A = this chain, B = another copy of it.
């Protein structure tokens, strides 16, 4: 294989674009699993990234109302952490005052992301929503 990776400045980024179709978030978790294994994350860390990513994807599917129907996911492998960015070009929302919830027992997606990742930032507006989450590498 590439002895010396070509392109000295090879960025350690993986980009994935998925259509907003039911279950397509699984393509994202599969990719996430490979990336997290590459970074030698342990199984619990891998599961945490996968579930947080699922929540971000299904929110985009369910609420973004994006007309192009795509979710853009970027995995950035840093020396100290994995950053996962989930972006849609939908209608956005106010993270301080999310809409009232239609159903019982819902409304915990963002709380799950915050509970499972080390940091979660939300940038949302009329141009869409970007969730940026990070998970530190295993401390050994």
> Residues of A with Cβ closer than 8 Å to B?
1-2, 5-7, 9-24, 26-27, 29-31, 33-35, 37-38, 58, 61-62, 64-70, 90
Separation in Å of the A77 CB from the closest CB of chain B? 9
Q: A2 to B62, Cβ gap below 8 A? A: yes
Complex Cα spacing A48 to B10, Å: 29
Complex Cα spacing A14 to B24, Å: 9
Complex Cα spacing A62 to B5, Å: 9
- Residue ID in chain B nearest A2 by CB atoms: B61
Q: B20 to A10, Cβ gap below 8 A? A: yes
Q: A6 to B38, Cβ gap below 8 A? A: no
Q: A19 to B12, Cβ gap below 8 A? A: yes
